[in-house]
Structure 1
Amino acid sequence: MNYAAETSLGVVTIRAFNMADKFFENYLKLIDSDARLFFYSNAAMEWVVLRIEVLQNLTLFTAAFLLVLLPKGFIAPGLVGLSLSYALSLTGTQIFLTRWYSSLSNYIISVERIKQFMHIPSEPPAIVEDMRPLSSWPSKGRIELQALKIRYRPNSPLVLKDITCTFKEGARVGVVGRTGSGKTTLISALFRLVEPASGKILVDGLDICSIGLKDLRMKLSIIPQEPTLFKGSVRTNLDPLGLYSDDDIWKALEKCQLKATISSLPNLLDSSVSDEGENWSAGQRQLFCLGRVLLKRNKILVLDEATASIDSATDAVLQRIIRQEFSKCTVITVAHRVPTVIDSDMVMVLSYGKLIEYDEPSKLLETKSSFAKLVAEYWSSSRRNSYQHFN
């Protein structure tokens, strides 16, 4: 079913590359694999029942044969018939119980899964009444990481290892590192998608683990790598909770350069948005996410590789709007393109969950730092790709 759903979403691309037959062949293989499990299960059931019936019939025949060989008058004829009837009834009952027990053993797995789900630890509460922050929190946007350690499961190794640094209020911080260095985990810890194993994250001096999830996440803004839109209207996608007026929404659309596009539509803010925003381009979906954060105007903004799936022109527009509108906010950028963080105030370099560098990018470029090596590799790769494209 997952394969069928994914295929239907990408059917245009599949047809464009003339791969419909290949996907249909894979679909038939998956159906056969799924049916094979039921066939094996039913075959094993019939094999067990057949063996039991053979053994029971053999036992019944032996008992009947012995009763027939008994001396005449040793046992009443009616009792012989009653014994045989009882044996036949017992055979049928045993076959039924065998089938029932086998079916129960197969379906009891569902109960085991439900039991596992019942014992999954739930998220912390959305609101902690005794620890609700002020409505103006955070007023500065200062973030302090104190000996932060993160692991995804109790017995798994640490993903972030003793991270200690400070993001000053109003600073633009770029987070760079190779795949698996812990960049996304750091953002997940800030939103408390994963709880710290030890250490603290302080926002304006307040430990974020001491407050409710709703109070925390409502005060943080994020533009994700994969822009998310929901089926509905333009208005509900920009303001899902209905907290802002139409005038505020139009101002946000103007700032994110979507006003002209929305104004040309017949239904304006009530224009439809399909599932996952398929009727909008990737760049427009990313600008929709920018419009959401422009409405909220929080002091902390996270860009989780927000420009990785868009072109360089849209990337430049996005960066320019962020510099203008969030000049007094703390902006944390998880970088995919190195030039995205070149003009940051500070650069954090992670490697295998450890903080190896945290300084101004100009100072890091002057030395033989890991950041300088990443920049050199990026430009070398860009020149090589440009040369190959030119040829």
Structure 2
Amino acid sequence: MKVDENQKSYYPWYSSQQGNCIVLFAALFAVIGKDKLNPGLVGLSVSYALLVTMSLNWMVRMTSDLESNIVAVERVKEYSETKTEAPWEVEDKKPSPDWPSQGKVEFRDYSVRYREGLDLVLKNLTLSVRGGEKIGIVGRTGAGKSSMTLCLFRLLEAAGGEITIDGVKISEIGLHDLRSKLTIIHTVLFSGNLRMNLDPFEKYSDAEVWNALELSHLNKFVSNQPAKLEMECSEGGENLSVGQRQLVCLARALLRKTRILILDEATAAIDLETDDLIQSTIRTQFEDCTVFTIAHRLNTIMDYTRVLVLDKGQVAEFDTPAKLLSQRGIFYGMAKDAGLAQ
């Protein structure tokens, strides 16, 4: 019975593959015109009908293969036409080795778009952040929070205005000189061992690495692994939980400890208790650093120096959390929705 059921489906499929309709019509027309056709011509038409079927199958397969492989050509064309990044280093504009010493960040009439022809995502942004301030960045989806942090790394180039860090225009220095002085905590891991992910350039001792793991509350997990610091991380850190990946990235930031720290959804996948521990670590270990936090949990930034509220790419509010709550504006509404204000 099962074989019969299988044949009910398989036979029509196989018939369609062999082009039975073409053969049927070739034979039908031969019968209709039997008075005008000789038997040899009829046989030739039927045999050719069978060959055409195979050719059609081959043609369809080759067409689909061509369509799949032409993507590689399209990608090469796109990459060859993509504008390259700015120079890695600009010798005559190199900042001093101890730059930035204060961590003062200024946006002056700054605008940016993702590419030519698109609308501005940040529009005439003007603000000044003193060294050591803790700034919480909030706003609705699409307000420009992540775009603002990308601009600090010059992943997006300015459409107008400028950003300065300790008086140095970041658009004039090399990308390596800029990016090596900034740290972002984001869940990006590479295939390799844990130590390579924490210290890819082997600048720090094992003791420093373990200290960073302890401060990021990962030391117990790593200590319980047979390979310790040599434990393997799969591509993207898939053998770790999302929360553990974020803790690894926090440990990496603690090792580098640059003057400016950026947190983009750094603790979004961690339970509240662990989040509190991490926030306390950031407050103590990065006490003298300028911190920009894109906040998805408002309670994590309620004790920050100031809160920046973005709306449609512009500064809507920028003041201390207490003053913004008293103004009963956008931030007050968000805090009320989160149950942090009456």
TM-score norm. by structure 2 comes to 0.77
SS at match of 1:285: helix
SS at match of 1:328: coil
Alignment partner of 1:206 out of 164, 168, 171:
168
Matched-pair contact (CA < 8 Å) for 2:260–2:291? yes
Q: Identify the residue that residue 198 of structure 2 maps to in structure 1.
A: 238
How far apart, in 2, do the equivalents of 1:147 and 1:320 lie?
34
Alignment partner of 1:355 out of 295, 315, 320:
315
SS at match of 1:313: helix
| Greater Cα radius of gyration, structure 1 or 2 | 1
Alignment partner of 1:122 out of 78, 84, 97:
84
> Which has the larger displacement, 264-273 or 310-319?
264-273
Matched-pair contact (CA < 8 Å) for 2:103–2:132? yes
Identical pairs, percent: 44
Are 1:316 and 2:308 an aligned pair? no
Are 1:247 and 2:225 an aligned pair? no
Greater share of helix: 1
Q: Identify the residue that residue 221 of structure 1 maps to in structure 2.
A: 183
Show CA shifts across 1:326-353 (max 9, x none): 0110010001011121111001000000
How far apart, in 1, do the equivalents of 2:75 and 2:225 lie?
48
SS at match of 2:267: coil
How far apart, in 1, do the equivalents of 2:158 and 2:86 lie?
13
254 and 125 in structure 1: CA distance in 2 versus 1, 3 angstrom threshold: same
How far apart, in 1, do the equivalents of 2:75 and 2:189 lie?
32
Matched-pair contact (CA < 8 Å) for 2:243–2:267? no
Alignment partner of 2:225 out of 255, 259, 265:
265
How far apart, in 2, do the equivalents of 1:273 and 1:152 lie?
33
Unaligned runs of 5+ in 1: 1-98, 384-391
How far is 1:307 from its partner?
Answer: 1.7
TM-score norm. by structure 1 comes to 0.68
Letter in 1 for 2:339: W
Matched-pair contact (CA < 8 Å) for 2:89–2:175? yes
Q: Identify the residue that residue 261 of structure 2 maps to in structure 1.
A: 301
How far is 1:202 from its partner?
Answer: 0.4
Q: Identify the residue that residue 136 of structure 1 maps to in structure 2.
A: 98
Show CA shifts across 1:77-132 (max 9, x none): xxxxxxxxxxxxxxxxxxxxxx9xx98x9788865653343121011111111111
Are 1:149 and 2:111 an aligned pair? yes
Letter in 2 for 1:155: G
Q: Identify the residue that residue 244 of structure 2 maps to in structure 1.
A: 284
Unaligned runs of 5+ in 2: 1-58
Residues 155-194 of structure 1: matches in 2 within 5 Å? Answer: 155-194=117-156
How far apart, in 2, do the equivalents of 1:321 and 1:278 lie?
25
Show CA shifts across 1:224-255 (max 9, x none): 2xx12222111101001211121211121122
How far apart, in 1, do the equivalents of 2:242 and 2:281 lie?
17
Matched-pair contact (CA < 8 Å) for 1:283–1:314? no
Letter in 1 for 2:182: L
Count residues with an aligned counterpart.
280
How far apart, in 1, do the equivalents of 2:236 and 2:147 lie?
25
How far is 1:282 from its partner?
Answer: 2.2
Residues 358-369 of structure 1: matches in 2 within 5 Å? Answer: 358-369=318-329
Q: Say what the alpha-carbon RMSD is for the aligned residues.
A: 2.3
Q: Identify the residue that residue 298 of structure 2 maps to in structure 1.
A: 338
Show CA shifts across 1:244-289 (max 9, x none): 1212111211221222222232222112222222222222211111
